[in-house]
């Protein structure tokens, strides 16, 4: 039954996000705004993707003997060397990934796609690949936006992608202790469907929810849109089973807390397939909410809104804090108003102007819980928000966001087809550095891309010590967009490092952030990761080039 739930949501198309039928094309009003804002000559569909048949992919470098051994391990039907299977697994969903595939470039496609069903099959594949010196790239939903699943080979001659999506079952559930163990290849909607049968939820809803897998959550330490209430994935995960070329690691899950040495589960969380292949995950689960309350408040500035969120998370009783907290800066609020248009938005602008809010920063909140409990929480939080100048504007903006919370990646596909460059990036920092970081990263991106371009940001995760910042960048496409992306990414990353923020709050490291990891954890920290890799993966076959750059791995290995 779980497999049926998984298959009810199509996997992403090879050159974009998800099922294109689920997207909602931009309105003529929105297109006119983009054309004006970005000084575009045209917003016609002028940059279509090539047809799948036109994509260039090299011949598989695996010999027939190895292919036969792989088929003997997982079954003949579960080893694919055809062009289409390899193209689909040629990378993740970053803007450069999509730009290359849309242009017909799948040069980095793996030599084969292998789909195991059991832990033993994963272990046997790793043993074979270590013996044959074949790189192995673990692959769940393929949603990485930082190059985390690109099938790099160096220093090996060939690579396979290990697709875990056949491993998609609920293995056990303990409703008394409120824990569940699931296989790592199960996707977000299937997790929720199978837990709902027992009255529970995981409560983890990243924007990639419809495609991403539980193993991917663990391997990247992802944060869901409801993480303020439910917690990040690394807070929800209590145990792992990990297959490595050196053997099996079974970590955690024995007790609610322990002092049994360093927390090895945390070492594997966020390891991005570099240290081992996560095959089973034990998580904390929560009774499904039966009620939601929505609210939106407009603040006179982003700084005022951020101060309100800080008080909300630091000084409000934990039980009152919303499950979803989201504050758009002035630029994002303005863009959302412009894209929505219509009489309702015009009336809202007049309403806010009468209350002294000329350039609003809009905050959205969602409270979830038992029947009759959310409205009181909302009312008590509202007192804090009003004290910082917040003006209540009904719950409709928050409920509308909730209804369309997974649609943004579809809009990127349409914008790329219209010749519009679009990218997202994120960080997190302390409250004392938040406003400076917000401005410095924005200015760095604008300086790198030049004008006209549009940079907007929002806070979507708050902690007692600080908050996340999530940026969206939109500009006219320059050429194939790849150099434009590189220039923007370097400028933003350098500004983040210079400001003392984290290089990634929830997008993981992959290839894109690897050059900046040393600035965050130090050279000795990199050496610790490299030492763990040498112990667990002596040949170095697991996901080469991720977390630690090849040059750095060679230096410290």
* DSSP structure string for 26-41: PPHHHHHHHHHHTT-S
Q: What percent of the chain has pLDDT over 90?
A: 87
Q: What pLDDT score does 1 carry?
A: 39
Q: What pLDDT score does 456 carry?
A: 97
Residue 6 confidence class, pLDDT cut points 50, 70, 90: very low
CB neighbour class for 153 (10 Å; exposed up to 12, middle 13-18, buried from 19): middle
pLDDT, mean of residues 471-486: 96
Q: What pLDDT score does 557 carry?
A: 44
Q: What pLDDT score does 550 carry?
A: 59
Q: What pLDDT score does 451 carry?
A: 81
Q: What pLDDT score does 254 carry?
A: 83
Q: What pLDDT score does 539 carry?
A: 97
Does 25 or 466 have the greater pLDDT score? 466
Q: Where are the alpha helices (DSSP H) in 221-341?
A: 227-230, 233-236, 264-268, 302-315, 330-340
The tens digit of pLDDT for each residue in 71-114 reads 999 999 999 999 999 999 999 999 999 999 999 999 999 999 99
| Structure tokens, 383 | 């007192």
The tens digit of pLDDT for each residue in 381-431 reads 999 999 999 999 999 999 999 999 998 899 999 999 999 999 999 999 999
CB neighbour class for 49 (10 Å; exposed up to 12, middle 13-18, buried from 19): buried
Beta-bridge partners for 139: 163
Q: What pLDDT score does 556 carry?
A: 45
Is residue 464 within 8 A of residue 539, CB to CB? The reply is no
Least confident interval from 50-59, 136-145, 147-156, 548-557? 548-557
The tens digit of pLDDT for each residue in 487-536 reads 999 999 999 999 999 999 999 999 999 999 999 999 999 999 999 999 99
Return d(Cα 279, Cα 49) in angstroms, integer.
Answer: 35
Least confident interval from 20-24, 127-131, 461-465? 20-24
CB neighbour class for 444 (10 Å; exposed up to 12, middle 13-18, buried from 19): buried
Q: What pLDDT score does 341 carry?
A: 82
CB neighbour class for 433 (10 Å; exposed up to 12, middle 13-18, buried from 19): middle
DSSP state of 99: H
Q: What pLDDT score does 7 carry?
A: 53
Strand 159-163 relative to strand 112-114, pairing: parallel
Residue 2 confidence class, pLDDT cut points 50, 70, 90: very low
Query: What are the Cα distances from residue 91, in Å, to 42, 200, 230, 543?
Result: 30, 33, 30, 12
Average pLDDT, the chain: 94
Residue 334 confidence class, pLDDT cut points 50, 70, 90: very high
Residue 342 confidence class, pLDDT cut points 50, 70, 90: confident
- Supply the DSSP string of 83-127, one letter for each residue: HHHHHHTS--SSHHHHHHHHTTB-TT--SEEE---SHHHHHHHHH
The tens digit of pLDDT for each residue in 194-204 reads 999 999 999 99
Edge to edge, the sheet with strand 135-139 lists 79-80, 112-114, 159-163, 135-139
Q: At what angle do helices 119-132 and 64-74 cross, to 10 degrees?
A: 160
The tens digit of pLDDT for each residue in 262-282 reads 999 999 999 999 999 999 999
Which residues, other chains included, contact 3 with Cβ-Cβ below 8 Å and sequence gap of 6+? 168, 169
Which residues, other chains included, contact 49 with Cβ-Cβ below 8 Å and sequence gap of 6+? 15, 16, 101, 102, 417
The tens digit of pLDDT for each residue in 134-168 reads 999 999 999 999 999 999 999 999 999 999 999 99
Strand 237-244 relative to strand 277-284, pairing: antiparallel
- Look up tokens 């974009």; give the residue: 16
Q: What pLDDT score does 552 carry?
A: 55
Residue 192 confidence class, pLDDT cut points 50, 70, 90: very high
Return d(Cα 401, Cα 149) in angstroms, integer.
Answer: 29
- pLDDT above 90: residue 208: yes
- pTM (predicted TM-score): 0.94
Return d(Cα 504, Cα 514) in angstroms, integer.
Answer: 10
Return d(Cα 18, Cα 133) in angstroms, integer.
Answer: 34
Least confident interval from 66-80, 297-311, 333-347? 333-347
CA-atom Rg of the chain in angstroms: 23
């Amino acid at each position: 039954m779980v497999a049926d739930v998984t298959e009810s949501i199509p996997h992403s198309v090879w050159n974009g996000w998800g099922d294109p039928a689920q997207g909602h094309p931009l309105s003529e009003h929105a297109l006119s705004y983009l054309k004006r804002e970005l000084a575009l000559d045209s917003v016609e569909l002028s940059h279509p993707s090539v047809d799948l048949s036109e994509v260039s992919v090299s011949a598989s470098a695996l010999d027939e003997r190895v292919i036969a051994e792989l088929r003997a391990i997982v079954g003949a039907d579960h080893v694919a060397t055809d062009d289409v299977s390899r193209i689909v697994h040629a990378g993740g969903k970053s803007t450069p990934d999509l730009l290359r595939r849309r242009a017909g470039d799948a040069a980095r496609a793996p030599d084969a796609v292998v789909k195991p069903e059991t832990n033993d099959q994963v272990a046997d594949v790793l043993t074979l690949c270590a013996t044959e010196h074949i790189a192995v790239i673990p692959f769940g939903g393929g949603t990485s936006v930082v190059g985390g699943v690109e099938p790099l080979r160096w220093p090996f001659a060939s690579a396979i992608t290990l697709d875990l999506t056949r491993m998609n079952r609920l293995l056990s559930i303990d409703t008394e202790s409120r824990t569940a163990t699931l296989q790592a290849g199960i996707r977000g909607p299937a997790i929720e469907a199978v837990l709902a049968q027992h009255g529970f939820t995981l409560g983890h809803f990243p924007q990639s929810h419809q495609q991403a897998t539980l193993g991917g959550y663990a391997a990247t330490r992802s944060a869901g849109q409801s993480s303020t209430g439910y917690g990040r994935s690394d807070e929800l995960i209590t145990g792992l089973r990990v297959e490595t070329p050196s053997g099996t690691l079974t970590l955690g899950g024995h007790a609610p807390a322990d002092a049994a040495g360093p927390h090895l589960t945390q070492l594997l969380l966020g390891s991005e397939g570099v240290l081992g292949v996560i095959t089973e995950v034990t998580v904390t689960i929560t009774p499904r909410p039966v009620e939601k309350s929505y609210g939106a408040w407009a603040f006179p500035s982003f700084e005022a809104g951020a101060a309100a969120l800080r008080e909300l998370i630091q000084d409000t009783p934990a039980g009152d804090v919303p499950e979803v907290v989201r504050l758009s800066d002035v630029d994002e609020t303005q863009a959302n108003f412009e894209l929505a248009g219509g009489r309702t938005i015009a009336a809202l602008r007049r309403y806010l102007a009468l209350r002294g809010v000329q350039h609003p920063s809009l905050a959205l909140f969602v409270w979830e819980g038992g029947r009759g409990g959310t409205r009181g929480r909302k009312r008590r939080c509202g007192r804090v928000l009003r004290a910082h100048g917040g003006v209540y504007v009904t719950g409709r903006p928050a409920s509308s966001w909730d209804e369309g919370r997974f649609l943004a990646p579809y809009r990127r596909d349409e914008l790329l087809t219209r010749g519009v460059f679009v990218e997202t990036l994120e960080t997190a920092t302390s409250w004392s550095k938040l406003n400076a970081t917000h401005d410095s990263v924005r200015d760095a991106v604008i300086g790198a891309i030049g004008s006209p371009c549009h940079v907007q940001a929002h806070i979507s995760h708050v902690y007692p010590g600080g908050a996340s910042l999530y940026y969206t960048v939109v500009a006219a496409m320059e050429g194939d967009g790849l150099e434009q992306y590189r220039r923007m990414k370097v400028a933003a990353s350098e500004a983040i490092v210079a400001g003392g923020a984290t290089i990634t709050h929830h997008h993981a490291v992959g290839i894109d952030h690897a050059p900046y990891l040393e600035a965050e954890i130090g050279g000795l920290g990199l050496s610790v990761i490299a030492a763990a890799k040498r112990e667990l993966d002596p040949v170095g076959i697991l996901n080469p080039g991720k977390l630690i750059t090849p040059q750095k791995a060679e230096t410290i290995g």
